[in-house]
A and B are shown apart, each in its own frame.
Chain A
């Protein structure tokens, strides 16, 4: 795996069931995502986008294949570590369609939860969280509960949470699905900025073709395999 690569997947297979009832969702997917790259993952509904994302995120166990995250091979026909949750906590930031913030924690607590679990002191984690919240223009909402914020503000908090553990990888599952066009563009541009400024590899699952021109590359699931393609140029969103 080269130094600029952040994610490398080889011959990844995911199937459900066995024997005659076996259904392959992903069959031999191979691709890489580089640091500082924002990659869109597209496919029709039910093609396995979220499943692929969850396998890369060490949530769903593949059937076979190999996954590298950073310079660590985490899966080769079986998990190579028992602590997949530690990998998630230390290397990966998750962003979802909904914000999925913890409702009983306020904004800054939501953002500092993972860094504090990783051993960062309260002061350090709060300092970093405030930097992130200020970066996303929601520093003044640090002590508000998620229920007191708008959908867009919560989504920005969720992105700040995903970045709080200084991840190498961000996995975003349809982060713009619940947003209008203007806010969607704002979120994707934000992800692009993060990818570049923090040298993070970002995979973003999306159904919205209008967001594709903002990405560096497109990964498309076709016939259970992953095909890489370039971004269509000349979009008005660029």
Chain B
């Protein structure tokens, strides 16, 4: 039996492919949107994975250091070691700053940690050039996407820093590139006021700012100890908020990016609906263009089932081709986005199912038109 859909498509192949490419670009954007969401999740967890700590100790009644502002004394890292079960501790600072890069000023997050401490914040797997921090002052390790080379200088606050290492894929929970500096430098950058400010504060009877503050203390727990119990113990005796790694992950992925993910989810849903409407309109237009032929076919006795099969096959092929083009398009452009876009196979399959369902729904409008076509309309005109 002649495959009418195949014949019709090959008759207007160029038009069909261009149409599929157009719809494909729309589907590509849907995939990119999903990829942006996945990227946000990966970014949110990247730092947690790099640090691989068991508990986060922050200012009491805050969700710090990512979701809330948090300040705790640096020496808490020492007193925590007295708690039964705590293995290693480290004091960390996080600060959003704008730095002059070789091309343009960029927002980065400066992570301050003690390079001589027990926990190294720079993952060895991430370090692609140079070395980690080996001095207490004026060394910086930067993310590769900032465009710095080893040995280059960078102005941070009042001082000049030398780039000693370059990392890959290191981002803050918000997706901004990370730079690593020593804890002392970070504290100076974050907590040390200018001389004029200090003089003013003294004149107003205020004490000088305490620079020995950090945003969080992280700790690892000895094997054999229950993380939740140790966390509860820290919370009880130190009057601090304590989060396990899983709780911190929840704060980052659920609390912090929940609204953003909902926004993207809604936008993606709207794009899928728009794609469905566009596919439906294209199929409707394609069916309208064939109304004369459909009337002739009905007049010479071709059953509805064969004509409907043609419409449905064309719709499904359009959806399938659009999906292929959409995938190709998204893979071509995803790396051009400034923040991480993660394209995952299960998302592509999910979109494929959605596209096929959307195509079937879209074909109904063409099928309805076929059923209502008057065979007598073939004559005349």
Taking Cβ atoms with an 8 Å cutoff, the residues of A that contact B are: 50, 54, 57, 59-60, 85-90, 92, 94, 96-97, 100, 102-105, 109, 112-114, 116-117, 122, 145, 161, 165, 173
CB atoms of A85 and B296 under 8 A apart = no
CB atoms of A85 and B298 under 8 A apart = yes
Q: Which residue of B is nearest A57, CB measured?
A: B299
Q: Which residue of B is nearest A53, CB measured?
A: B379
> What's the nearest-Cβ distance from chain B to residue A173, in Å?
6
For B4, list chain A residues within 8 Å (CB): 104-105
Contacting residue for B299 out of A88, A103, A105, CB 8 A: A88
CB atoms of A117 and B306 under 8 A apart = yes
CB atoms of A54 and B376 under 8 A apart = yes
For A90, list chain B residues within 8 Å (CB): 301
Contacting residue for B378 out of A85, A100, A105, A113, CB 8 A: A100
CB atoms of A100 and B298 under 8 A apart = no
How many A-B contacts at CB < 8 Å in the complex? 72
> What's the nearest-Cβ distance from chain B to residue A177, in Å?
11
Per CB-CB distance, the 3 closest pairs between chain A and chain B, nearest first, are A89-B301, A104-B11, A88-B301
CB atoms of B379 and A114 under 8 A apart = no
> What's the nearest-Cβ distance from chain B to residue A225, in Å?
23
Given A54-B376, A122-B1, verify A94-B11 contact (CB < 8 Å): no
> What's the nearest-Cβ distance from chain A to residue B337, in Å?
41
Q: A105-B7, A165-B301 are in contact. List 13 more A-B contacts (CB 8 A).
A: A59-B375, A85-B301, A85-B375, A88-B300, A92-B301, A94-B299, A96-B378, A97-B379, A105-B2, A105-B4, A113-B302, A114-B300, A145-B11
> What's the nearest-Cβ distance from chain B to residue A151, in Å?
17
For A103, list chain B residues within 8 Å (CB): 11, 293
- Binary per-residue interface labels of chain B (284-316) against chain A in the complex, 1 for a CB within 8 Å, 0 otherwise: 000000001100111111110010000000000
For B293, list chain A residues within 8 Å (CB): 102-104
For A50, list chain B residues within 8 Å (CB): 379-380
- Binary per-residue interface labels of chain B (42-68) against chain A in the complex, 1 for a CB within 8 Å, 0 otherwise: 000000000000000000000000000
Interface residue count for B (Cβ, 8 Å)?
A: 24
Given A88-B299, A102-B296, A114-B300, verify A54-B379 contact (CB < 8 Å): yes
> What's the nearest-Cβ distance from chain A to residue B307, in Å?
11
Bound: A104/B2 CA distance, A: 12
Q: Does B8 contact A (CB under 8 A)?
A: yes
CB atoms of B301 and A117 under 8 A apart = yes
For B375, list chain A residues within 8 Å (CB): 59, 85
Give B1-24 interface residues, CB cut-off 8 Å to A.
1-2, 4, 7-8, 10-12
Bound: A113/B299 CA distance, A: 13
For A173, list chain B residues within 8 Å (CB): 379
For B296, list chain A residues within 8 Å (CB): 100, 102
Bound: A169/B303 CA distance, A: 20
Contacting residue for A114 out of B7, B292, B302, CB 8 A: B302
For A97, list chain B residues within 8 Å (CB): 379-380
CB atoms of B303 and A85 under 8 A apart = yes
Contacting residue for A117 out of B11, B292, B302, B376, CB 8 A: B302
CB atoms of A112 and B2 under 8 A apart = yes
Contacting residue for B301 out of A54, A60, A112, A114, CB 8 A: A114
Q: Which residue of A is nearest B293, CB measured?
A: A102
> What's the nearest-Cβ distance from chain A to residue B127, in Å?
61
For A60, list chain B residues within 8 Å (CB): 376
CB atoms of B300 and A94 under 8 A apart = yes
For A145, list chain B residues within 8 Å (CB): 11
For B2, list chain A residues within 8 Å (CB): 105, 109, 112-113, 116
> What's the nearest-Cβ distance from chain A to residue B332, in Å?
32
- Binary per-residue interface labels of chain B (89-119) against chain A in the complex, 1 for a CB within 8 Å, 0 otherwise: 0000000000000000000000000000000
CB atoms of A109 and B7 under 8 A apart = yes
For B376, list chain A residues within 8 Å (CB): 54, 59-60
Contacting residue for A89 out of B1, B300, B379, CB 8 A: B300
> What's the nearest-Cβ distance from chain B to residue A118, in Å?
8
For B302, list chain A residues within 8 Å (CB): 85, 89, 113-114, 117
